[in-house]
Chain A
Amino acid sequence: MTNHWTDIKNADVVMVMGGNPAEAHPCGFKWVTEAKANNHARLIVVDPRFTRTAAVADLFVQIRPGTDIAFLSGVMNYLLSNDHVQREYVAAYTNAPFVVREQYAFDDGLFSGYDEGARSYDKASWAYELGPDGFAQVDPTLRHPRCVYQLLKRHVSRYTPEVVSRITGADPARFRQVCELVASTAAPDRVMTSLYALGWTQHTVGAQNIRAMAMIQLLLGNMGMPGGGVNALRGHSNIQGLTDLGVLSDLLPGYLTVPKETEPDWKRYVEVRALKPLRPGQMSYWQNYGKFFVSLQKAWWGDAATRENGFAYDYLPKLDRLYDILAVFELMHQGRVHGYVCQGFNPLASAPNRAKVTEALSKLEFLVVIDPLRTETSEFWKNAGPSNPVDPSRIRTEVFRLPSTCFAEEDGSLTNSSRWLQWHYKGAEPPGEARGDLGIVAGIFQRVRALYQKEGGKLPDPILKLTWPYLDPASPSPEEVAREYNGRALADLPDKANPGKTLAKRGDQLTTFGLLQDDGSTASGCWIYCGSYTDQNLMARRDPADPSGLGLAPGWAWAWPVNRRILYNVASTDPAGKPWDPRRPLVRWSGEQWVGADVPDYKPDVPPSAGMRPFILNPEGVGRLFGADKLVDGPFPEHYEPFESPLSADPLHRRPAARNNPAARIFPDDRAALGSPDEFPYAATTYRLTEHFHFWTKHARIPAVLQPEQFVEIGEALAREKGIRDGDRVRVRSRRGQLEAKALVTKRIQPLQVAGRVVHTVGVPIHWGFIGLTRPGYLANALTPVVGDANVQTPEFKAFLVNVEKV
């Protein structure tokens, strides 16, 4: 979240699209209720289903799965053509005035630079026109035909209300009402918040869905405002933390990135990431990349990371390709992955195309499952009748299942969606012989290290020299590890402003990443977490006081970065440093420095008149309406049909290449497993129910009581057509697999008129499987396709095709 849970109460309009917080995040949704009650806020819900969030909405619009960009582009078109934008904000804090290179073009769904054979773009033309000074050219009047403002206006002009309705199936009158409500927050004293979750990410256009909303929020001046922002409601208790810590194939801690094999030395690696400012006076904070990276290397390899060896740059693997989960299961399916560890992760249930996952796991030599619960993945080889029809004797995979503790049996911190790191405490002993994850990981590492010590082997140094300063090497304590990712000074850090003084003494825990150095004098395992564990554990703070009344609770736990509760918060002030909305003063320029209820997201002593802009991580200093070369599938969002679309013709483009996201990757076997609308005529989407959490709570009795048996949701019209009644058993099939479940016939999913035909949507809740206390069911991902978002490879679970029949 750019903002945080409690902040939702400050909103005047709450836009829920791509999420269902009343079901998936009920206690966070409380703050929507608060906004409605105390702020007279209006709640808009746009979704393919009338959800429990919709049940309390002021305005609900049903759309076809996978058409969010068309809807949002239509909203942008309304805002721009009716001049409902926060003009002063747009001119000062976005790249609307920036002039784009002449070579940039967009035509019938494709941006300039497309290579159809490679399914990718050469992004060179998606860039600003640079002046002789190396800075981007701007036109403050926003009239230049190639300025971002004009380009955007042109780009979205195709999304007229008629086109929006034709693509999405949205009721035109309700679409118009949404536009009007959204537009009302262009006023500086009205704010809209956007709440989204996997309803936006799990599409082949996932990143662009979110970008579209970010652009709307920039046009309305809602970024950086209390009650505003674009707020990702993360799915799991510490998925934010694991992402922050870079536990992803191409990331390192703190959103640093794993080197590519085209970057042979650390200087080159840092250079391409430490971006120079694109406008005068901008901070372009990533210029400090080298400090963060070197401090990480020092945390991991200590004295073995020296300037001479490029701070152990070669100890890190270099990427030749993507190794996201979809790619890894493809490689596993080809027999090219031999060993796999699933730590608290159940890919047989969670990954797309379950049949493919079963085959892939069967080709592994060994599988290690670390989990508190009996997961389906750990028993993928065990026959469980029709819901797991495998023959164990033919599966040669060796499987280890290691029992781990759960949250209640350990100390540690979790990072919630608000970016708060909250410390928790052990309340009981684990059952039986279960062990903590730290001990299990340490146990594996210690043994591998001992083997390399004893036997030698390939490249032992990164393993032998990895820092392991823990009191009990077999079981590092959470405090020790937390102190390590926070970071400490490895030498006295001199204070350049006060000669003779030091900012930190050798061995001190560091208080902020502002102290990190690229000369090897600091170590920090995750720079954005620097400041969380100083001489005290700030994550364990428990002061709920909220002096500003804005819900910041600055003394509760610790938020990254530097306990800042709202990102880009200087954008909540006008170019003179005064809050846009005097009723919601977050930070302001006092005349000498930036002060306020939140930690200002800015250089503290730079006056607003100096022209530094509030989006300090961007080399432009401003928010990007034009994404330049940051995303692989275009600088502006564009509607593309899901890879499985119920429409046989493209409702927007003539070019076949532009039917689906032209830059999305799909492996040949997965393309061959796509279904056509003739055979699978209904749009489908998977989702959560409030009674359950993923594939965990089927192991807990009360949730099993509250939602005991698998079902699918079918609209009344489709049910009539198919002769299906409430409680009947139905079979849902996709090109990849099938499941059987009870039918829940509902008024809450209506047939939609789309591009001249009727589209029915089938809802498939995910929570069942072949192990647990609920009635046995089928893994919903038997149905889903293996194709991911073009940028981050999130699988398209929210728009695919099925057929339904009564059993």
Chain B
Amino acid sequence: MKLTRRRFLQGTGATIGATSLAALGFAPERVLAQTREFKLAHTRETRNTCTYCSVGCGLLMYSLGDGSRNARSRIFHIEGDPDHPVNRGTLCPKGASLVDFVNSPDRLVTPEYRAPGADAWKPVTWEFALDRIARRMKDDRDANLVERNGQGVTVNRWPTFGVLAASASSNETGYLTHKVFRSMGVVAIDNQARV
């Protein structure tokens, strides 16, 4: 801190004043020494699993709002689940700051579209995005699906389209993603197992 002459004088004045007043018996009227209010006292607790590494630490997430219709929930604190057999309440620095991931200013909040050659995003509706993605997929599949190879064997593969799946998405998401894209004949499916 930068101590200016003015602040020093103020501080010194207050110091001398306060100590001397106390010495004369003029103690402040109330001696409150309470601690900070416990911030989790009336919040909702939800159990979850850390999204980062594969230890799979148990989490307790605390959110604002009691779930009533007009309250919008927001997670404001996360700590370790003490019952979890592996992490036993502990969390690493990333896990201990998960709340900053959940509430990151870099979270995406709306579908966006970047046209060929454009230098900026354009917010779009889900309908626009999904319709157009489906259209492009179907057109490419119809044009490039290989039904038979040179030997006449049925191969039914779509080699011009690929999917990279999320290493932190749930099993349910992974399973459905696999089911959907494999049914279309996609072979270029991969996940983050290698990198």
Among the listed stretches B2-10, B28-36, B114-122, which one makes contact with chain A, having 4 or more residues with CB under 8 Å of it? B114-122
| Residues of A with C-beta under 8 A to B110 | 403, 432-433
Contact B72 A429 (CB under 8 A): yes
Q: Which of A324-379 contact B (CB under 8 A)?
A: 324-325, 328, 331-332, 336-345, 347, 350-352, 365-366, 368, 370-374
Q: B131, B182, B190: which contacts A316 (Cβ < 8 A)?
A: B182
Partner of B102, one of A315, A406, A412, A440: A406
**Residue in chain A with minimal CB distance to B101:** A700
B residues less than 8 Å from A690 (CB atoms): 92-94
A210 to B85, CA, bound (A): 27
- Near B by CB (< 8 A), chain A positions 580-623 give none
Query: Given contacts A27-B55, A447-B130, A485-B171, is CB(A247)–CB(B177) below 8 Å?
Result: yes
Complex Cα gap A458–B145 (Å): 7
Give CA–CA (A240, B144) in the complex, Å: 32
Q: How far is the CB of A714 from chain B (nearest CB, A)?
A: 24
B23 interface contact, C-beta 8 A:
no
B73-114 vs A, Cβ < 8 Å mask (1 yes, 0 no): 111001010011111101111111110111011111111111
Q: Is B188 an interface residue (CB 8 A)?
A: yes
**Hey, which chain A residues are within 8 Å of B105, CB to CB?**
699, 773
Query: Is A445 an interface residue when CB atoms closer than 8 A count as contact?
Result: yes
Is B108 touching A373 in the complex (CB atoms < 8 A)?
yes
Q: How far is the CA of A382 from the CA of B58 in the complex (A)?
A: 38
C-alpha spacing A253/B190, complex, angstroms: 13
Q: Are B165's CB and A345's CB within 8 A?
A: yes
CA distance A64 to B143 in the complex (A): 50
Most buried by B among A352, A416, A418: A416
Tell me whether B115 and A201 are in contact (CB under 8 A): no
Contact with B63, one of A24, A427, A438, A793 (Cβ below 8 angstroms): A427
Q: A324-B190, A343-B163, A418-B56 are in contact. Are A703 and B168 (CB under 8 A)?
A: no
Contact-residue bracket for chain B:
35 or more
Of the four ranges (under 10, 10 to 19, 20 to 34, 35 or more), the interface on chain A belongs to 35 or more
Contact B134 A448 (CB under 8 A): yes
Residues of A within 8 A of B118 (CB): 392
B180 within 8 A of A: yes
Kindly state the separation between the CA atoms of A372 and B119 in the bound complex, as whole angstroms.
21
Is there contact, CB below 8 Å, between B164 and A236? Answer: no
A180: interface (CB < 8 Å): no
Residue in contact with B153 in the complex, picked from A318, A331, A526, A542, CB distance below 8 Å: A318
Given A317-B182, A412-B171 in contact, is the A328-B162 Cβ separation under 8 Å?
A: yes
CB-CB < 8 A to A529: which residues of B?
171
Cβ–Cβ contact A459 & B92, under 8 A = no
Is the C-beta of B39 less than 8 angstroms from some C-beta in chain A?
A: no
Q: Which residues of B contact A426 (CB under 8 A)?
A: 46
Give which listed residue, A325, A407, A526, A772, contacts B51 with CB less than 8 A. Answer: A407
CA distance A213 to B98 in the complex (A): 35
Q: Are A238 and B171 in contact, CB atoms less than 8 angstroms apart?
A: yes
- Select which of A5, A444, A542 is within 8 A of B133 by beta carbon: A444
A459 touches B166 (CB 8 A): no
Say yes or no for A794: interface residue by CB 8 A criterion: yes
Residues A317 and B175 in contact in the complex (CB < 8 Å), given A28-B86, A392-B117: no
Query: Which residues on the A side are within 8 Å of B121 (C-beta)?
Result: 401
**Interface window among A284-292, A475-483, A568-576, A733-741:** A475-483
Interface residue ranges, B against A (CB under 8 Å): 44, 46-59, 61, 63, 72-75, 78, 80, 83-88, 90-98, 100-102, 104-119, 121, 126, 129-138, 140-142, 144-145, 147, 149, 151, 153-195
Given contacts A422-B49, A792-B194, 6 further A-B contacts (CB under 8 A): A31-B86, A317-B182, A323-B162, A337-B161, A402-B126, A462-B185
A-B contact pairs, 15 of them (CB 8 A): A239-B192, A249-B188, A317-B185, A323-B162, A370-B166, A374-B108, A399-B114, A416-B49, A422-B49, A427-B44, A437-B173, A441-B173, A442-B180, A444-B134, A699-B107
